């Protein structure tokens, strides 16, 4: 067989894989958001072409105060910079500034079955917690999420474990569309970290830590002060048994161990060895100190980015411009395949 000689003229650099992920600006992000998702975004962003969005279109599936939504969207955008995402290397943008997300979501709605959406556990949960406003957007939310992912032809989507079902439906929709019209979308894989994929409530460790929990003692916000973090972790629910080890019926301790592991890089065995013969008091102080140190640089950089609102706007415009260019390319391809007249 003839050997192919690669020269500078014919070299095809291997395509860098793409990642995409988003976060809703529906409140101040928690330690769960940070350890389950944001920390991995930064880690992966050096090896992948990354696109990261503030999912403000998703946020209005639950009633929002307009002033607060705008403020939180700016804050979460600044947070994405503060966690170390580099706007020169990754695309960082506000979802509502890229109209193709809404446009593709409409098209994909017509390729998604009512029955599929009815099975989404997050829809069922949110219908219970927002019984007075079970709107159609809440129902078709996973289709918008599929549009977010598929527009950028993402190979990998780093998320917490709670988004796994939405990722599966995005894959189903993409496969269905490709099956009808030929290869249009890359089929995305979820990236769910080994530890931190499901950070639990500090007050009820059988429930996910959530920024919408009415009890602020149940979650740590990424902007909590060191004093608040120490206080919340000291009052975290554990058990009456007293030993620091990972086990069944020890959800509170398991949760603190996994938080500690994410912040220090220690394995469960190493943590158990460190706290052998010590009580929960010592353990909780160590966990709190690790969390404080983990979040300290994020908080400091956040304050720095929030001070310069002109630069923030500038970066938002730059991110939206690049995102629009990429997203429009996929949208046009889809519109042609479906049979729309392209101007
Ligand atoms: P959102 O805004 O609820 O959360 C953002 C990310 O944080 C993760 N997460 C957690 N991880 C571990 N433990 C927890 N307690 C915890 N709470 C939240 C979430 O899994 C998520 O990765 N629908 C998405 C936003 C979205 C999206 C997308 C994500 C919109 N479009 C496209 C990926 C791709 C959401 O509501 O995440």
Inform me whether the pLDDT recorded for 241 exceeds 90. no
Q: Which protein residue has the closest C-alpha to ligand 1 atom 27?
A: 22
Q: Name the band, by pLDDT with cuts 50, 70 and 90, for residue 1.
A: very low
Atom nearest to 145 CA in ligand 1: 31
Query: How many angstroms is it from 278 CA to the middle of ligand 1?
Result: 35
Residue of 73, 30, 331 lying closest to 198 (CA atoms): 30
Q: Name the band, by pLDDT with cuts 50, 70 and 90, for residue 212.
A: confident
- Note the pLDDT tens digit of each residue in 161-200: 999 999 999 999 999 999 999 999 999 999 998 889 999 9
Is 124 a catalytic site residue?
no
The reply to whether ligand 1 has any atom less than 6 angstroms from the CB of 55 is: yes
Is 208 a catalytic site residue?
yes
Is 250 a catalytic site residue?
no
pLDDT (average), residues 237-250: 92
Inform me whether the pLDDT recorded for 8 exceeds 70. no
Q: What confidence score (pLDDT) does residue 242 get?
A: 84
The reply to whether ligand 1 has any atom less than 6 angstroms from the CB of 157 is: yes
The full set of domain ranges for the chain reads 18-196+308-338, 216-305
Q: Which of 16, 18, 67, 126 is catalytic?
A: 126
User: CATH topology for 18-196+308-338?
Assistant: Rossmann fold (3.40.50)
Spatial neighbors of 35 by CB under 8 A, at least 6 apart, are: 193, 195, 196, 199, 259, 262, 263
Inform me whether the pLDDT recorded for 7 exceeds 70. no
> The CATH number of 216-305 is which of 1.10.4160.10, 1.10.3720.10, 1.10.240.10, 3.40.50.10490?
1.10.240.10
Inform me whether the pLDDT recorded for 4 exceeds 90. no
Query: How many angstroms is it from 167 CA to the middle of ligand 1?
Result: 11
Q: Which protein residue has the closest C-alpha to ligand 1 atom 22?
A: 159
């Amino acid at each position: 067989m003839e050997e192919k000689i690669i020269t500078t003229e014919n070299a095809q650099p291997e395509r860098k894989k793409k990642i995409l992920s988003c976060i809703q600006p529906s409140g101040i992000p928690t330690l769960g958001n940070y350890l389950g998702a944001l920390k991995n975004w930064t880690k992966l962003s050096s090896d992948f072409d990354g696109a990261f969005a503030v999912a403000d279109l998703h946020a209005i599936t639950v009633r929002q105060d307009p002033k607060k939504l705008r403020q939180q969207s700016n804050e979460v955008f600044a947070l994405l910079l503060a966690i170390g995402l580099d706007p020169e290397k990754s695309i960082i943008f506000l979802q509502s500034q890229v109209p193709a997300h809404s446009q593709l979501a409409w098209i994909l709605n017509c390729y998604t079955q009512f029955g599929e959406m009815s099975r989404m556990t997050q829809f069922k949960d949110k219908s219970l917690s927002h019984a007075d406003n079970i709107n159609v957007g809440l129902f078709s939310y996973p289709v918008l999420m599929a549009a977010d992912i598929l527009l950028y032809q993402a190979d990998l989507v780093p998320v917490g474990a709670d988004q796994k079902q939405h990722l599966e439906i995005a894959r189903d929709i993409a496969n269905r569309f490709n099956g009808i019209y030929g290869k249009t979308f890359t089929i995305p894989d979820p990236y769910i970290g080994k530890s931190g994929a499901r950070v639990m409530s500090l007050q009820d460790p059988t429930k996910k830590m959530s920024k919408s929990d009415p009890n602020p003692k149940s979650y740590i916000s990424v902007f909590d002060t060191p004093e608040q973090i120490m206080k919340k972790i000291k009052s975290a629910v554990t058990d009456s048994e007293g030993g620091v080890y990972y086990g069944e019926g020890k959800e509170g301790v398991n949760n603190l161990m996994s938080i500690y592991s994410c912040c220090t890089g220690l394995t469960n065995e190493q943590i158990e060895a460190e706290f052998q013969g010590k009580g929960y008091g010592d353990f909780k102080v160590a966990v709190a100190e690790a969390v404080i140190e983990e979040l300290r640089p994020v908080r400091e950089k956040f304050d720095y980015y929030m001070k310069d609102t002109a630069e923030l706007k500038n970066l938002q415009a730059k991110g939206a411009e690049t995102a629009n260019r990429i997203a429009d390319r996929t949208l046009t391809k889809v519109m042609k395949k479906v049979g729309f007249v392209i101007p």
